[in-house]
Amino acid sequence: MISYNPKDWFTFIFRFHKADTFRQLFPLLIGVSIYAGIISWLEMYYWKLPPASFVRNIPVMHTLLGFAISMLLVFRTNTAYDRWWEGRKLWGSLVNNSRNLALKLDAILPESEKAHRTFFRKIIPAYAYALHNHLHKEQTRIELFEEDEHKHLFRPIDYDKHVPNQIAKLMYHHVQLLCREGIITGEQLLYINAELQSFTDICGACERIKNTPIPFSYSVFIKKFIFFYIMTLPWGYVFQLGFYVVPVVAFILYVLGSLELIAEEIEDPFGGDQNDVPTDTLARNIHRHVAEII
């Protein structure tokens, strides 16, 4: 049974880490609070609007639009989370398939084939590192061999091309070499083909997420909707709340703005933010596990 420490609640509530949306929204919260205070003062002390003023009815608009904005934010957050979760599942599949390929090769390759074992021990995690760098637009430089007697097994990689494809091609060429030399049979080649093919499938699916962002106009519309919704709040609610409308408006902005910022951050699971999929950590795990198996 999992136990929770009440102190954790206070830690999460009152400690603002660098990924917290409060830090990002703080300048906007200050500006909106000042704006709400000015509108409150003008309506109560300068314009002295009468109780029968139609401005009192502005909250009716907020009631009607509240449902619409909540539905938009729910859809926005769910869509962004689906993209993040799909990216995490794809890298989970890469971890599992890398392990399965290493396990199968360890069972297939004789212990005497040290050079071929070294090749796969290095090339399988190299694909994970290359995919991480490819998704994060980082330059890939991978040292595939250390011992001179193994250099003949590695073909040069053209780093100006699609590096994950280059490494996948190396693996395909190598298993075909093993088959031609009689080290593995045709049945064994089919036995490991699913894992070899999955690498490129996973890469393509990750590229689909990376290269197909949420439509810009949709994201801009939600931001404008939130902005005008917040900026009209003080006009009507000042009659019921007085100057208390200032913290109320700031809190509503914090809630709505945080939901949009969270969705914006996780919609690209390979962007390198703190809450994105930890592809670098997963690549290191693949490296460690493959080294243990082969």
pTM for the model: 0.82
The encoded tokens of residue 192 equal 């490991």
Confidence of residue 121 (pLDDT cuts 50, 70, 90): very high
Percent of the chain with pLDDT over 90: 49
pLDDT at 256 > cutoff 60: yes
Q: Which of 9-13, 26-30, 80-84, 172-176 has the lowest mean pLDDT?
A: 9-13
Percent of the chain with pLDDT over 70: 86
Is residue 142 a contact partner of residue 160, using CB atoms and an 8 Å limit? no
pLDDT at 57 > cutoff 90: no
Give, for 210, the enclosing helix (H) or strand (E): helix 186-211
Q: What is the pLDDT of residues 135-187, one digit of tens each?
A: 988 665 555 544 444 445 556 666 778 899 999 999 999 999 999 988 998 89
pLDDT at 63 > cutoff 60: yes
pLDDT at 134 > cutoff 70: yes
In the prediction, which pLDDT does 139 show? 60
Q: Which residue has the higher pLDDT, 158 or 277?
A: 277
Q: Which of 72, 73, 122 is nearest to 98 (CA)?
A: 122
In the prediction, which pLDDT does 47 show? 78
In the prediction, which pLDDT does 205 show? 96
In the prediction, which pLDDT does 1 show? 43
Residue ranges per structural domain of the chain: 100-212+279-293
In the prediction, which pLDDT does 4 show? 54
Q: What is the mean pLDDT of residues 239-243?
A: 85
Q: Which of 279, 262, 271 is nearest to 93 (CA)?
A: 279
Using CA atoms of 171, 172, 178, 182 in order, give the dihedral in degrees to the nearest 10.
160
Confidence of residue 196 (pLDDT cuts 50, 70, 90): very high
Q: What is the mean pLDDT of residues 32-60?
A: 83
Give dist(CA 223, CA 29) in Å, integer: 15
Q: What is the mean pLDDT of residues 26-43?
A: 91
Provide the 3-class DSSP secondary structure of residue 183. Answer: coil
